[in-house]
Structures are given as C-alpha cells and as structure tokens.
C-alpha cells in the first residue's frame, strides 16, 4: 500500500498530548516505520518516557493562543491529537474537566489548525465508547452506526467527532476522525482493566497483598488491540485517510472481561480468589462493544500483528518488573 500524501524528504509529525499511554508508542512508530521527524507536547507538570530524538514542548490545549503559537512555530505536516481526559471512571467523577479538555480543548486545536496558512493532515482521536448503547444486530459496529453514548467520556468524544466532521467539510480541512476501541499494553495506567488485573496479580505474586483479585463487571465485552498495532493504524490513517471521514481502529473481536481475567489468572504462579469491588462497577455500562474494521483495512491495508495472548503476557511481565520497586 503506497502513502499518497507522503511528502519528499523527512516530514514532520506533531503529537499533542504525548505524555500519556499512547504518545511514546506513537512517537516510536512514526520515527521507525514512517521515517518522520517527531515533535511532541505534554502538560507542563508531566514527564514523557522513551522520547529519544523527539523535541518535547509544553502545551495546555485549554489555552488557544498557546496552541496557535505552537502550531505556527512547529509547522507540522501531520498532527495527532491525543490530549484528553481519557478515563471513563474519572469522567463520572469530574464531568466538567472532561467536557473542558475533550470538547473545548479539541476545538482549540481545530481552530488553531484552521488559522494556519497551509493544510496539515490531522488525526483527531476519539473512542469506540462513542457508539454507546449498541442494539442487537448492530455488531460489529460500522462507522455509520447511530451514536448513543452511555457515559460522559463517550459523550465528549462523540461531540469532538461531530465538530471535526463539520469543520472538515465547512472549512475544507484535512481532518480525519478515529474511533479507537480499547487499547492495551505495557505502561498503561492501572485505571484501565487489563493493566489493573495484571498489576494485582503481580502484587499477589510478590506477597504484597492477599491472594484476592478485586474486579468490576465481568460480563462486559470489549474489543482489545495492542497499543503498538493501534499507533501503526494511526500512522497509516494520517497518510491515507480521507478528509472528514471517521475510522474505527480495533481488532474486530470482542472479549468478555471474564475471559481476560481467566487468561491473566492462568498465567499467575499463585492460586487467586476473585471478589467484586462495588467501586469498580460503573453507574452505566455498555454490554458489548466490537468494531467493524473493514473501512480501516480497505483504506490502509492495516492488519493487527500482536495477539491478545502476547500483549497480556507482556503487560503482566511489565508489572512483575515494577511492583514493589517504587
């Protein structure tokens, strides 16, 4: 598959919000597989990891003037907008912050791009959570499915997507919209289910806690993809995606959280009991989320390379190396 939008010489990519889980993986793949020069932003109080050969700048997307100034000085060919309040659980606790960052902050980025005197290609990262309450017969979910967000985080990302597609059309901008399904791997915060379970197992193995796993809703089914496959899809989409279009990025296969738990416990060296922690049960949870990835595959030729088994093993090993070391 060729890259029709690749410019001659080394092109420059800007990652906004690179201090999180995805940022360092994206920087890595853009340098190694897409041969891009990478500039990244983080919040002033944050630190980035594994950012060799990357210029790192401070940026809070809530300050639009700062976003404009940064874009004008960096002059990127490609922009990846990752900055977000990305946790569903935190969004229930702090909806105001989530609305500010995910809607107003994203709008600031799009408005700043609009003010440039050229048209960079921009990937706005949203979420599979935007589809929300999926009806029988709608699975796997295509990009044209109705959006019925089931939580505050999902509602803010659906809004980002809608504004993005309106801007692309109204102002002839090279904006592509992504709906990323659950991505997992080493270094993810234990707010997210796979990292949480792997960290608990590692703590139990080290004798740092009783041999009991605390879990939330085990019947929910989610579409999990290794973060390294996800960021490769982002690189391919920024080059090949069509302006104004939305693309699902996921594995195309939903696993029950129970299956994930069983896989993780089977890898443990200890015998472990499972107990429900009421704090881990969400006020509203969506039963099944599974992506139809036909559009992504037809547009880019992308296929996942890393199995669920491998990503769970590497995530567990990551936590085994870290717990008790802090």
Interface residues with ligand A2R (CB under 6 A) are 17, 19-23, 43, 46, 59-62, 82-86, 101, 105, 125, 127, 180
Nearer to ligand A2R, 180 or 296 (CB): 180
Q: CB-based contacts of 130: which residues, under 8 Å, 6+ apart? A: 147, 149, 154, 157, 158, 161, 179
Least distance in angstroms from the C-beta of 183 to ligand A2R: 7
Ranked by CB distance to ligand A2R, the top (closest) residue is: 20
Q: Measure Cα distances from 288 to 133, 219, 281 in Å.
A: 8, 9, 16
Residue 138, exposed/middle/buried by CB under 10 A (0-12, 13-18, 19+)? middle
Nearer to ligand A2R, 126 or 140 (CB): 126
Nearer to ligand A2R, 180 or 260 (CB): 180
Least distance in angstroms from the C-beta of 8 to ligand A2R: 30
Nearer to ligand A2R, 27 or 213 (CB): 27
Tell me the three state secondary structure of residue 79. Answer: strand
Least distance in angstroms from the C-beta of 219 to ligand A2R: 23
Least distance in angstroms from the C-beta of 103 to ligand A2R: 11
CA neighbor of 83 nearest in space, from 53, 108, 120, 49: 108
- Residue pair 12/77 in contact (Cβ under 8 Å)? The answer is yes
Cα separation, 126 vs 270, in Å, equals: 38
Least distance in angstroms from the C-beta of 112 to ligand A2R: 13
Least distance in angstroms from the C-beta of 212 to ligand A2R: 28
Nearer to ligand A2R, 104 or 273 (CB): 104
- Residue 306: CB atoms within 10 Å: 18
CA neighbor of 231 nearest in space, from 56, 53, 55, 20: 20
Cα separation, 266 vs 260, in Å, equals: 10
Nearer to ligand A2R, 70 or 168 (CB): 70
Cα separation, 29 vs 34, in Å, equals: 7
Cα separation, 111 vs 116, in Å, equals: 9
Fill in the DSSP letter of residue 278: G
Nearer to ligand A2R, 130 or 205 (CB): 130
Least distance in angstroms from the C-beta of 60 to ligand A2R: 4
């Amino acid at each position: 598959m060729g890259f029709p939008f690749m410019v001659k010489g080394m092109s420059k990519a800007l990652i906004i919000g690179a201090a999180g889980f995805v940022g360092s993986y994206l920087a890595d793949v853009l340098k190694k597989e897409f041969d891009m020069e990478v500039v990244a932003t983080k919040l002033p109080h944050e630190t980035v990891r594994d950012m060799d050969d990357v210029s790192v700048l401070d940026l809070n997307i809530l300050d639009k003037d700062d976003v404009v100034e940064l874009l004008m000085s960096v002059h990127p060919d490609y922009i990846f907008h990752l900055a977000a309040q990305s946790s569903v659980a935190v969004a229930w606790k702090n909806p105001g912050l989530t609305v500010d960052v995910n809607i107003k902050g994203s709008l600031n980025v799009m408005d700043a791009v609009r003010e440039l005197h050229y048209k960079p290609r921009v990937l706005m990262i949203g979420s599979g959570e935007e589809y929300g309450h999926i009806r029988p017969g709608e699975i796997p979910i295509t990009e044209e499915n109705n959006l019925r967000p089931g939580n505050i985080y999902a509602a803010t990302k659906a809004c980002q997507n809608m504004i993005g597609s309106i801007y692309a059309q109204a102002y002839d901008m090279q904006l592509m919209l992504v709906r990323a399904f659950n991505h997992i791997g080493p270094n993810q915060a234990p707010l997210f289910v796979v990292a949480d379970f792997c960290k608990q197992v590692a703590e139990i193995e080290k004798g740092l806690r009783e041999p009991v796993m605390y879990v939330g809703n085990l019947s929910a089914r989610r579409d999990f993809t290794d973060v390294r496959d996800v960021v490769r899809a982002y690189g391919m989409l920024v080059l090949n995606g069509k302006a104004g279009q939305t693309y699902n990025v996921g594995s195309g296969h939903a696993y029950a959280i129970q299956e994930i738990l069983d896989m993780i416990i089977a890898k443990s060296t200890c015998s472990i009991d499972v107990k429900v922690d009421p704090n881990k049960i969400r006020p509203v949870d969506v039963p099944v989320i599974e992506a139809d990835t036909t559009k992504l595959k037809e547009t880019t030729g992308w296929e996942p390379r890393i199995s669920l088994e491998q990503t769970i093993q590497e995530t567990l090993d990551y936590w085994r190396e870290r717990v008790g070391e802090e």
